[in-house]
Amino acid sequence: MPEYALEVQDYSFSYGKTGVNVLNGVTFSLDKGSFTALCGVSGSGKSTLLRAFKPELAVEGESSGQIRVLGDDPYTLSPVESATRVGFVMQDPENQIVTDTVWHELAFGLENIGMDTETMHRRVAETAHFFGIGGWFDRRTTDLSGGQKQLLNLAAIVVMQPAVLVLDEPTSQLDPIAAKDFFDVLERVNSELGITIIIIEHRLEDVLPIADRVLFLQKGGVLVYDGDRDGFVRMLVGNSEGFRGALPAATRMAACLDRAGLNIDEDAPFPVTVREGRTFIAEAVEHAREVDGCEIVSRPIGRTVPAENVAISARDLWFRYTKEMPFVLRGVDFDVHAGRIAALVGGNGSGKSTLLSALSGIRKPERGRIANPNKLHVALMAQNPKMLFVHDRLVDDFLEWKDIGKYSEKDVDDILERFGLAEMRTRHPYDLSGGETQKAALAKILLLNPDVLLLDEPVKGIDALAKKQIGEILTDLAVNEGKAILLTAHDLEFVSETAHTCSMMFGCEVTCTQDAHGFFVDNLFYSTPTARIARGTLEGCVTTADIAASFDANGGSDHE
Amino acid sequence: MAKGLFATYHPAVCMLFFLTAICFTFCTQHPVYVALTCIMAGAYLVYLRGVRPFLRSLGMFIPMVLFVGILNSLFNSAGATSLWKWGPFSVTVEGMCYGLAVGGMLAAILLWFSCYNEVMTEDKFTYLFGRKLPTISLMVSMISRWIPRMVSRGHSVYDSQEALIGGYDQTKSGKMKRGLRMATVLTGLGMEDSVQTADSMCARGYGATSRTSYARFKWHTRERIVLGLLIVLLVVNVVLLVTGTGSFKFYPRVSAIVPLWGYLTYALMLGLPFLVELERFKR
Amino acid sequence: MSSAVVNERPKMGKFGRFMRAIEPAVLVALPIVMLICAWLHVPNAALITSACAIVALVPFFASFEAERRRARDIMPIIVMTALTVAGRLIFAPVPAIKPVTALIIITGLCFGRDEGFITGALAMLVSNIFFGQGPWTPWQMFTMGLIGYLAGVLGSHGLLKHRWSIGLFGFLMVFLYGFILDTWTIVGFVSNANAASVFTTYAAGFANNLAGAIGTVVFLIPIAISWPRMFNRIKSKYQIGPAA
């Protein structure tokens, strides 16, 4: 019996003969039944590495070194062996689904490996039961939510009983609740079925608590860390590189206190979950008060919001797509203000996207009205930013509307520069990374010089760095150029850092609107992890920056 | 599902039944046969869909049925009893009878196809052809998955285009340009996404070996009995048809209709979906 | 990303190659069979010709099956077919354009005759699954397949390089489609057809065909150059189609 589920020996890879190495002498081995998180900045060759485990998906190029899956070179396996030994779940839940019904999707892999009908029925039934999808077994795949789709993709792989399960950012397109569900199931797959798991994931918040091993790839494809979670966290806390922003809120908070010298037990592991974070902060604050005698004052609650200056207002909106369908908006009152960033949060299907398209004027409400008194130019960015591009080169796409938008080539160059996309100007728009695509889409819309920007999920599925950049650009647009911005987002931390006001949508209505800071302080559950950690101990903290500030303000600096 | 028991039968039985019904309908213009098949198809469609939707689909057929019926009665000079003549147009009693019969036949075919559409859902169709045409039937299933995706994506591209650039040009040509732009986005993005779907298929062993299929339909005794009954009725009716029960002369004069036992077997055969419902009265 | 696994299609067996070889003959034979039926006043011509159309589809589907294509080689067909069928709904608010024939032609032109035929035939089949099957299904499948096939053949001989030639081809093909289906109606449902009834049938369809032809040309001409370029980029980027 082979000792390891997966062994990688001195593996290097480059695209073609001339290319630079994407992976450089990577060596590691995974125990059977382990749960490993593979981290790294974008462009560190993570996906390339994972794809190398599965010849069907491997990237074309030059490689050296060895890969063993359960002791065998994957290229020597028979096609059926190869299909079943390693399971692969990819990013986009939509694109992975092959067939039109749930039952057919579950059976698809088994049909491919020529399994007989009886065994197939049994396997499919077992798997459907394990994943709790018996209830939607006969549904059409189109009618599933994003989270259900991704669970189905996972089930459709697990039904083939792989020894190793490889996942490439499986939750990047899901909302936080669906992502949480996905991880819960994934943990069960690991602990109850004993399947070895290796996963690339940006949401360290979700993956670190369940991973028992972490690998970290540096730019250039060098494996710089291979060990347990706490060592990894300490490594990232120690260096000030960009990836630190991806750490869980509890860890960032602890790192913050650590730098302030408030870490009581230097040897205890860093907290990664909200619960661990709450214990940590309570002890730290207690210690600071009693032993060091420093006084910790609450942060002021609320944030200054730019003055009211209504750009578009909606009153008593009722909307439904067809007369047969239920209302998607029920009596919504909403104002969008110039010079402000407003955020709209809420679950899937709460009507956020519909409200955006109603405000843009393309959907006529059945009742109520939308007023745009100053005849402002409204622009809507749909959820999939790729839909904005039709040309072969980014720069051609930017020039597409130069006649109707009355802008010049110089303007295009300027905006490419401003958004840090100058290097990409001759690239195909579809070849950009997720963050670049979002930025490019925003830039293309800005060329039309709209006064009101309605952005549907502008930070969906992008990494922490790109998120930060987009946040800065939006702030600049609102504060310095006086644009009215309304965005929807599932990332509450992004909202708390970027938006001036925040509104919650629930049940097709806007239930409350408040300044973004106060909103998250007042919310008990629907709030940022930091707020949930700090509640009761450090009042008025919503972001890690708040925590840092509340210590800096009162003698925290003495400890440095 | 309120589709009746027959729809729960094995797809092969259903398929054979519809093939039989449609072929027989095609094959004879005998007024009694036409009337029977019309009644049976209509009754079954009402049973499957209810009266209102039935009337609605009937409304859609009428123009075509009328067109064919009139075409056959107007341009037919073969009849003996002339009613009216003008140039090439010659209306005869026989021609009109024939037109009525052909129109009825076409109506019956369309009705049977409507029943077929209700009963032979896409999963049954792909199941039937899954063995002989594994790739094509998988593709039909994949296309069915992609169509609603294309539709919803089409709507969102359309909306976002209207919101961004629609205001600049509301002329017809502007709308057409945006329509073409939408088609380009859908194709380009669709192709790009489809490569990931292909990867997902490969990851699950597509092409590793000959495909089997997850059969959701089984042969039970009941299926075999009904299939046997259908075959017997089919053979009897073929014999009757060939030996002359189904032949009928419109020209030069319409022949007389004589009562025959053959009509009963024909009605029995086409009424199979109702026959299987008798099971409900068992015990 | 591209797959490193052997990038060639498996060789077709004897049966598949035979089926592929008789395809052109079948394309010519079927319309002739229909005309013979008309000429000889064959009884039950509607049934016979429909059955013939189904038989005519066999070699195309059989050789396609025999190819055992890789997953990504069937994807263009999936995408184009889905777009064609969905097009009936999503292009409804767009004035004047008729995407169906145009999309099939562009598929045949860019991906080849087999893709053209299969896409045309499947588009009609699936469209009828969604919007209702009828006795016309086999003929619609055959005729639309033929159009895709012809586009592929002419394209591979370099005859459809210019906007206008593609537009003209599209214009003619819509009429070909109308002509074949109207002929089938006559052969199948009009007994003792004479000049007058034939003329009436064609005339009844003329306005519709003309609108379709114009809508197709309007759709085809703007995309005639840019779409093949777009497809070529995708084909080479993802190595779709037989290895060069």
DSSP letter string, A400-469: TTHHHHT--HHHHHHHHHHTT-GGGTTS-GGGS-HHHHHHHHHHHHHHT--SEEEEESTTTT--HHHHHH
> Does residue C57 lie within any of the structural domains?
no
Do A284 and A372 belong to one domain? no
Do A416 and A549 belong to one domain? no
Instruction: Provide the shortest C-alpha distance from residue C222 to chain A (in Å).
Output: 14
> Does residue C222 lie within any of the structural domains?
yes
Check residue A14 and report its DSSP letter: E
Q: Indicate which of B125, B133, B150, B160 best probes the interface with A, i.e. most A CBs within 10 Å of its own CB.
A: B160
- A140 at B interface, C-beta within 8 A: yes
Q: What is the pLDDT of residues A401-459, one digit of tens each?
A: 888 888 889 999 999 998 888 888 899 999 888 889 999 999 999 999 999 999 999 99
> Does residue C66 lie within any of the structural domains?
no
Domain count, chain A: 3
Owning domain of residue C200: 71-238
Give the pLDDT of residue B169. 80
Which of the two residues, B282 and B68, has the higher pLDDT score?
B68
Confidence of residue A1 (pLDDT cuts 50, 70, 90): low
Contact at CB, A59 and C229, closer than 8 angstroms: no
Give the pLDDT of residue A224. 86
Residues of chain A with pLDDT > 90, as a percent, come to: 41
> Does residue A168 lie within any of the structural domains?
yes
pTM of the model: 0.91
Do A320 and A344 belong to one domain? yes
The Cα–Cα gap between A202 and A222 comes to 18
* Mean pLDDT (whole number) for A235-258: 80
Arithmetic mean of pLDDT over chain B: 85
CB within 8 A of A8, min separation 6: which ones? A26, A27, A28, A29, A49, A65, A66, A67, A68
Do A247 and A334 belong to one domain? no
Q: Taking a C-beta distance cutoff of 8 angstroms, is the pair A457, A490 a contact?
A: yes
Do A114 and A179 belong to one domain? yes
Q: Is 70 exceeded by the pLDDT of residue A179?
A: yes
Do A442 and A339 belong to one domain? yes
Q: How many helices (H) and strands (E) does chain A have?
A: 21, 18
Phi, psi of A67 (to 5 degrees): -130, 135
Q: What is the pLDDT of residues A181-193, one digit of tens each?
A: 999 999 999 999 9
Give the pLDDT of residue C2. 40
Q: What's chain C's length in residues? A: 244
Do A332 and A220 belong to one domain? no
CATH number where A317 lies: 3.40.50.300
Q: Taking a C-beta distance cutoff of 8 angstroms, is the pair A294, A555 a contact?
A: yes
Give the pLDDT of residue B246. 64
The Cα–Cα gap between C99 and C83 comes to 9
Contact at CB, B88 and C47, closer than 8 angstroms: no
Which of the two residues, A162 and A546, has the higher pLDDT score?
A162
Which has the minimum average pLDDT: A359-368, B90-99, C173-182?
B90-99
Which has the minimum average pLDDT: B154-163, B179-188, B255-264, C140-149?
B255-264
Instruction: Provide the shortest C-alpha distance from residue C199 to chain A (in Å).
Output: 43
Contact at CB, C230 and A428, closer than 8 angstroms: no
CB within 8 A of B232, min separation 6: which ones? none
> Does residue C47 lie within any of the structural domains?
no
DSSP letter string, B95-151: HHHHHHHHHHHHHHHHHHHHHHHHHS-HHHHHHHHTTT-HHHHHHHHHHHHHHHHHH
> Does residue C44 lie within any of the structural domains?
no
Give the pLDDT of residue A552. 62
Q: Is 50 exceeded by the pLDDT of residue A527?
A: yes
Q: Indicate which of B110, B111, B151, B191 best probes the interface with C, i.e. most C CBs within 10 Å of its own CB.
A: B191
Owning domain of residue A23: 4-227
> Does residue A207 lie within any of the structural domains?
yes
Instruction: Provide the shortest C-alpha distance from residue B170 to chain A (in Å).
Output: 12
* Mean pLDDT (whole number) for A75-90: 92
> Does residue A235 lie within any of the structural domains?
no
Domain count, chain C: 1
The Cα–Cα gap between C119 and C148 comes to 7
> Does residue A304 lie within any of the structural domains?
no
Least CB–CB distance from B208: residue in A113, A120, A384: A113
- B187 at A interface, C-beta within 8 A: no
Do A544 and A476 belong to one domain? no
CATH number where C118 lies: 1.10.1760.20
> Does residue A195 lie within any of the structural domains?
yes
The Cα–Cα gap between B112 and B91 comes to 30
Give the pLDDT of residue A560. 33
Q: What is the pLDDT of residues A451-503, one digit of tens each?
A: 999 999 999 878 878 888 899 999 999 999 999 999 999 888 899 989 999 99
> Does residue A72 lie within any of the structural domains?
yes
> Does residue C149 lie within any of the structural domains?
yes
Cross-strand pairs, A454: A380, A486
Q: What is the pLDDT of residues A34-65, one digit of tens each?
A: 999 998 877 788 889 999 999 888 888 888 89
* Mean pLDDT (whole number) for A386-390: 90
Contact at CB, A157 and B204, closer than 8 angstroms: yes
User: Which residues of chain C does A59 touch, with a Cβ-Cβ cutoff of 8 Å?
Assistant: 1-2, 4
Check residue A489 and report its DSSP letter: -
- B239 at C interface, C-beta within 8 A: no
Confidence of residue C214 (pLDDT cuts 50, 70, 90): very high
Do A168 and A90 belong to one domain? yes
Arithmetic mean of pLDDT over chain C: 87
Do A348 and A258 belong to one domain? no
Contact at CB, A378 and B163, closer than 8 angstroms: yes
N-to-C CA span, chain A? 54
Q: Which chains, if any, share at least 3 CB pairs under 8 A with chain C? A: A, B
Give the pLDDT of residue B256. 66
Give the pLDDT of residue B222. 87
Angle of CA points B144, B147, B153, to nearest 5°: 150
Bond into B11 cis (ω within 30): no
Q: Is 80 exceeded by the pLDDT of residue A263?
A: no
Which of the two residues, C153 and B59, has the higher pLDDT score?
C153
Q: Is 60 exceeded by the pLDDT of residue C87?
A: yes
Q: Which chains, if any, share at least 3 CB pairs under 8 A with chain B? A: A, C
Which of the two residues, A294 and B20, has the higher pLDDT score?
B20
Interface of B with A in 132-161 (CB under 8 A): 138, 141-142, 144-145, 148-149, 153, 156-157, 159-160
Size of interface A-C (CB pairs under 8 A): 22
> Does residue C9 lie within any of the structural domains?
no
Do A101 and A200 belong to one domain? yes
Q: Is 90 exceeded by the pLDDT of residue A308?
A: no
> Does residue C64 lie within any of the structural domains?
no
The interface predicted TM-score of the complex, written ipTM, equals 0.91
Cross-strand pairs, A30: A6
Last residue of a domain, one of A180, A200, A227: A227
Last residue of a domain, one of A177, A204, A227: A227
Confidence of residue C5 (pLDDT cuts 50, 70, 90): very low
Do A422 and A482 belong to one domain? yes
**Residue found under tokens 């096939």:** C149
